[in-house]
Amino acid sequence: MDDCADFKENRLVSALVEDAANPPKLLYAEGLIGQSSRSGYIRLYTIRTLEEFYDLPCRAVRHVARLPRDERPFRVDAVWVDSQKLGKSPVIYRNGDRQEPLDADALAKTFGAALQSAVGAEASTPQGVFADPGGDDDEGGGGRPRGTGPKFNPP
């Protein structure tokens, strides 16, 4: 009998890790998910004024989860991005009138800064650390299983 048979894998781990022997190196940020003006992209707004955002190629977004409301008047989205899947489609970063394309290395650097300025940053988790999406039932979550397109649920 297997001693681990009674342990159930967390649904977030199931969504993020395809091969337990080789876990992915993912980038993590929090913000508000919205539609992008670019085909094949989603938008991650990082501040309450919606002036700063990232347009992320959908194929590079591994998982999106709606976080619990806590003290906020709205629910924030957690986003895990596989920078290896960016390919030749860079992330587009925009803050006010400034816009720039970001490759995988630049995205890793700016996501760390974005997490600090993200909506609800006072309760944020450090870059690379997975936040608990509020239980294992994914109530109201925006998560998606592997191999499917992004799923968006209103708050």
The domain containing residue 78 runs over which residues? 11-123
Tens digits of residue pLDDT in 133-143: 343 333 333 44
Please check whether residue 56 lies inside any domain of the structure. yes
Return the pLDDT at 140: 37
Query: How far, CA to CA in Å, does 112 sit from each of 42, 69, 78, 130?
Result: 19, 22, 13, 13
Please check whether residue 45 lies inside any domain of the structure. yes
Least confident of 85-89, 109-113, 133-137: 133-137
Please check whether residue 62 lies inside any domain of the structure. yes
Please check whether residue 129 lies inside any domain of the structure. no
Check whether 128 has a pLDDT greater than 80.
no
Least confident of 9-13, 42-46, 108-112: 108-112
pTM over 0.85: no
Indicate the number of domains in the chain: 1
